[in-house]
């Protein structure tokens, strides 16, 4: 334990990557606080600095390496040679052995199973001199947080991410997340509901449900007996639809958003549930990655063009006013000009409310990295520009159709808000002409648009 007579150590955090990584960062800081230490936003005054890394694509790995080297350089410049440097997150989980050799500056590496133990790990690192490069990383993570897991939230007070599952069972050929985060494992419904009740009681207005595959939620629990008061489908077990129906019963003024759904696991029951629950945002985040049949097969997406087109039709008919957000990969190995043209035509015809494009990244250890017909970077970049040009026009047209409508908005800053169709950090904003109370819902009439954003 920390001595009561000594000043508590201060811990700083640099967190990179996705919302799932951000929740891990919040849990690590929660463990630090529970251990009696302080959290600081000033890296210069930290006794221990944690860099929470991402390793999803090459650019994320480069950003992580740069952050680690910058942190080490700064402790020298700021004359804090005693500051300890810990590396956590996906890159640490996946490459801890290589990183120990490449980055002798780092005092310790931790993996995804250790996020809840950060307090004890910091104490050990502070108590040991000249033992750099120690690795706490274990293979194949199995950890998952619970409703009472300490967290120090890094999001605005009115918005939170809630991890309902961890890991992934999908065999996508471009991805190594299952190798880093392990197999899919769902939290028990009662745990999720208890955490939501706590967040709502704190005044949270937006709860973003996240996992690697949100629509797979509960399926791994079907063989297990649900505990008392668990919302379950009587024929199978816990489902996302059953969970949403229980969330709908929680008192309070808030909306809940589904992020990271997979097209293979949507059901009519889930669509009907969303349509019938006014606390569930009319927003579907569903990465499709491609539409051409050959590309879907090479990507091992476990779905087909016919299934995707049918599902989009069912979503739009079944959930009036739904905004569908998706992402696509261009330049995947073997993507011909004809396959890319098919994707462009699909984007034109479908008119997604929100869409992002990634240039394929050749990830070490993935099936796709070994495929023939790797696409040159210049062609990837050219296809990226063409796809985004199409989507930018569609987005402007969709935004313009909102002019004159009165929409319910959640205020992020006095002059910045978001609609149900906009997830934090990744989607558009509404720019307000008059200041509004942060963290509250307001009704405003849309007066114009600026690119992707609206004005009100």
Helix axes 118-127, 19-34, angle to 10 degrees: 60
Structural domains of the chain, with CATH: 10-135 (3.40.50.12160), 159-401 (3.80.30.20), 406-455 (2.40.50.140)
Q: Per DSSP, what are the bridge partners of residue 131?
A: none
Q: Exposed (0-12), middle (13-18) or buried (19+): which is 448, by Cβ within 10 Å? A: middle
Spatial separation of the C-alpha atoms in residues 158 and 244, rounded to whole Å: 20
Residue 443, CA atoms < 13 Å, CB-side half-sphere: 2
Residue 351 to residues 26, 141, 287, 346, 347, Cα–Cα distance (Å)? 36, 39, 15, 8, 6
Q: Are 189 and 164 in contact (CB under 8 A)?
A: no
Token digits of residue 1: 């334990």
Strand order in the sheet with 84-89: 38-39, 10-15, 48-53, 84-89, 108-109, 134-135
DSSP 412-432: EETTEEE-TT--TTTS--EE-
Q: Are 199 and 207 in contact (CB under 8 A)?
A: yes
Angle at 371 between CA 297 and CA 344, to 5 degrees: 50
Give the pLDDT of the chain (456 residues) as one tens digit per residue: 444 446 899 999 999 999 999 999 999 999 999 999 999 999 889 999 999 999 877 788 889 989 998 888 887 776 677 899 999 999 999 998 898 988 888 999 999 999 999 999 999 999 987 677 889 999 889 999 999 999 999 999 999 999 999 999 999 999 998 888 999 999 999 999 999 999 999 999 999 999 999 999 999 998 655 444 454 444 578 999 999 999 999 999 999 999 999 999 999 999 999 999 999 999 999 999 999 999 999 999 999 999 999 999 999 999 999 999 999 999 999 999 999 999 999 999 999 999 999 999 998 889 999 999 999 999 999 999 999 999 999 999 999 999 999 999 999 999 999 999 999 999 999 999 999 999 999 999 999 999 889 999
Token digits of residue 221: 């629990």
Per-residue burial over 119-158, b = 16 or more CB atoms within 10 Å of its CB, e = otherwise: bebbbebbeeeeebebbbbeeebebbbebebbbbbbbbeb
Phi and psi dihedrals of 64, rounded to 5?
Answer: -65, -45
Spatial separation of the C-alpha atoms in residues 103 and 184, rounded to whole Å: 31
Torsion angle in degrees (nearest 10) through CA of 349, 350, 353, 358: -90
């Amino acid at each position: 334990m920390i001595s009561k007579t000594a000043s508590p150590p201060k811990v700083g955090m640099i967190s990179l990557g996705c919302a799932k990584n951000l929740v891990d960062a919040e849990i690590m800081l929660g463990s630090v606080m529970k251990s009696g230490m302080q959290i600081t936003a000033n890296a210069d005054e930290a006794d221990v600095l944690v860099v929470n890394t991402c390793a999803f694509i090459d650019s994320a790995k480069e950003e992580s390496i740069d952050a680690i080297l910058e942190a080490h350089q700064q402790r020298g410049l700021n004359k804090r040679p005693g500051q300890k440097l810990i590396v956590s997150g996906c890159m640490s989980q996946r490459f801890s052995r290589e990183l120990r050799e490449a980055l002798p500056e780092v005092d310790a590496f931790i993996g995804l199973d250790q996020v809840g133990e950060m307090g004890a790990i910091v104490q050990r690192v502070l108590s040991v001199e000249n033992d750099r490069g120690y690795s706490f990383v274990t293979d194949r993570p199995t950890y998952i947080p619970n409703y009472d897991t300490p967290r120090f939230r890094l999001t605005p007070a009115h918005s939170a991410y809630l991890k309902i599952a961890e890991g992934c069972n999908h065999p996508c050929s471009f991805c190594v997340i299952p190798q880093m985060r392990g197999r899919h494992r769902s939290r028990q419904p009662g745990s999720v509901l208890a955490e939501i009740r706590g967040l709502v009681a704190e005044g949270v207005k937006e709860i973003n449900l996240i996992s690697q595959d949100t629509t797979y939620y509960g399926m791994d629990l079907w063989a297990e007996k649900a505990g008392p008061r668990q919302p379950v489908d009587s024929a199978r077990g816990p489902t996302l639809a059953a969970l949403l129906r229980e969330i709908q019963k929680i008192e309070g003024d808030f909306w809940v958003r589904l992020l990271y759904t997979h097209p293979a696991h949507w059901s009519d029951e889930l669509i009907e549930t969303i349509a019938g629950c006014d606390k569930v945002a009319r927003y579907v985040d569903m990465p499709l990655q491609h539409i051409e049949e050959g590309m879907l097969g090479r990507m091992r997406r476990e779905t087909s063009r016919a299934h995707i087109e049918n599902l989009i039709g069912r979503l739009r008919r079944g959930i009036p006013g739904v905004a569908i957000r998706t992402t696509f990969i261009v330049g995947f190995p073997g993507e011909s000009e004809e396959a890319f043209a098919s994707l462009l035509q699909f984007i034109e015809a479908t008119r997604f409310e929100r869409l992002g494009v990634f240039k394929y990244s050749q990830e070490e250890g993935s099936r796709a990295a070994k495929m023939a017909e790797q696409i040159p970077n210049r062609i990837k970049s050219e296809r990226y520009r063409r796809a985004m040009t199409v989507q930018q026009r569609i987005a402007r047209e969709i935004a313009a159709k909102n002019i004159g409508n009165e929409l319910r908005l959640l205020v992020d800053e006095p002059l910045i808000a978001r609609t149900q169709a906009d997830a934090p950090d990744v989607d558009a904003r509404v720019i307000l002409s008059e200041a509004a109370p942060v963290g509250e819902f307001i009704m405003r009439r849309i007066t114009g648009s600026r690119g992707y954003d609206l004005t009100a």
